[in-house]
């Protein structure tokens, strides 16, 4: 039986609707959630992502302010702009669109963001809180993946989970979230031996390695939940994920499509984080 498709677009719509309701409650208290976004350079993919975030903000009752800076912007200039938003009491979330031009140190920029406004959950303080099980906000893409897994209704406790990819943005925090749900987690990467066997042992498989159609149907346990974080182009220049959907969907129990899977959920979780940060910051200022 073909796998059931996990519709990220539909799930994201529900999350954004809830965010809009919460934004309205804050508005009634005189608080308008505000997200400041920095886009440096003219990377086409980044520009598309930012436009999508602007649309989501409009739908979620969030004021979106996008500062588009030229590709030759200095690190000092970007840091000054971030410090200004850190100090702005009307700004509740700060996001720097990655990647950044080579003259800018990504780590320094991330560390400059006020952790209370770090809606991407990239700062060392927030990463540390996640690892010790005390997060206030959850990283957007992993949180979206977890929500999709939970939407299947399966009991996660004791399940074998395999995460393919060890990035700071997806792989590592994804493992932390699955551990918090009492899964037994295996992390795989480019040096993993016998990757196919590791993947085939998974009740839950999260593919976030950035290689088109790398995970094929013969690497998947029958009935597994398969979450495809990848966003690649195939030989015909069509969008595809890290999972070969055609073969994987014949084996898996549940699977996410690309596009229409993890992508919308990432942006929806950003909206939820911004609303939550606005609520906490406004309370801290006595609003």
Cα of first residue to Cα of last residue in the chain, in angstroms, is: 54
Q: What pLDDT, on the 0 to 100 scale, is given for residue 284?
A: 59
pLDDT at 282: 78
Spatial CA neighbour of 165 closest among 200, 195, 122: 195
DSSP 215: B
Closest to 185 in 3D by CA, of 209, 205, 160, 164: 160
Residues 171 and 235 reside in one and the same domain: yes
Residues in CB range of 96: below 8 A, 6 or more apart: 37, 38, 40, 78, 82, 109, 110, 113, 120
Residues 201 and 250 in one domain: yes
Domain that holds residue 82: 31-115
Catalytic residue among 53, 117, 172, 221: 53
Report the alpha-carbon distance of residue 265 to residue 110 in Å, rounded: 22
Catalytic residue flag (residue 102): no
Could you tell me if 108 and 117 are in contact, meaning their C-beta atoms sit under 8 angstroms apart?
no
Rounded Cα distance between 187 and 110, Å, is 25
**Weakly modelled stretches of the chain, pLDDT under 70:** 284-287
Are 52 and 91 found together in one domain? Answer: yes
- The pLDDT score that the predictor gives to residue 202 is 98
pLDDT at position 44 is: 87
Is 120 one of the catalytic residues?
yes
Residues 99 and 188 in one domain: no
242 is catalytic: no
State the catalytic residue, choosing from 16, 56, 97, 276. Answer: 97
Instruction: Examine the domain organization and report whether 215 and 154 are in the same domain.
Output: yes
How much is the pLDDT for 105?
98
Same domain (yes/no): 165, 255: yes
Which among 120, 228, 242, 244 is annotated as catalytic? 120
Phi and psi at residue 115, to the nearest 5°: -55, -30
Report how many domains make up the chain: 2
DSSP 8-state code for residue 92: -
Q: What are phi and psi of 149, to 5 degrees?
A: -60, -45
Q: What is the CATH number of the domain that holds 84?
A: 3.40.50.10860
| Same domain assignment for residues 104 and 198 | no
* DSSP string of 116-159, one letter each residue: GGBTT--SHHHHHHHHTT--SS--HHHHHHHHHHHTTT---TT-
Identify whether residues 229 and 145 lie together within a single domain. Answer: yes
pTM here? Answer: 0.95
Q: What is the CATH number of the domain that holds 168?
A: 3.40.50.720
């Amino acid at each position: 039986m073909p796998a059931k498709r996990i519709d990220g677009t539909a799930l994201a719509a529900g999350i954004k609707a809830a965010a809009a309701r919460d934004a309205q409650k804050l508005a009634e208290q005189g608080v308008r959630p505000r997200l400041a976004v920095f886009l440096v350079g003219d990377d086409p993919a980044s520009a598309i992502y930012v436009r999508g975030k602007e649309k989501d903000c409009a739908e979620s009752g969030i004021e979106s302010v996008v500062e588009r800076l030229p590709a030759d912007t200095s690190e000092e200039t970007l840091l000054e702009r971030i410090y200004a938003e850190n100090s702005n009491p009307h700004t509740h979330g700060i996001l720097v669109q990655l990647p950044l031009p080579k003259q800018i140190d990504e780590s320094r920029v991330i560390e400059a963001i006020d952790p209370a406004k770090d809606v991407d959950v990239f700062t060392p303080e927030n990463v540390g809180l996640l690892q010790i099980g005390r997060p206030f906000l959850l990283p957007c893409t992993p949180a979206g993946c977890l929500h999709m897994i939970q939407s299947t209704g399966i009991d996660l406790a004791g399940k074998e989970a395999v995460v393919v990819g060890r990035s700071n943005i997806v792989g590592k925090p994804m493992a932390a979230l699955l551990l918090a749900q009492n899964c037994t987690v295996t992390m795989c990467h480019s040096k993993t031996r016998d990757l196919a066997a590791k993947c085939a042992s998974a009740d839950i498989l999260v593919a976030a390695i950035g290689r088109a159609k790398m995970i094929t149907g013969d690497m998947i346990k029958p009935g597994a939940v398969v979450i495809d974080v990848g966003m690649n182009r195939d030989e015909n220049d069509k969008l595809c994920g890290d999972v070969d959907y055609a073969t994987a969907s014949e084996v898996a129990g549940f699977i996410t499509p690309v596009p229409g899977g993890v992508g919308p959920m990432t942006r929806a979780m950003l909206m939820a984080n911004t609303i939550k940060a606005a609520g906490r910051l406004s309370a801290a200022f006595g609003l």
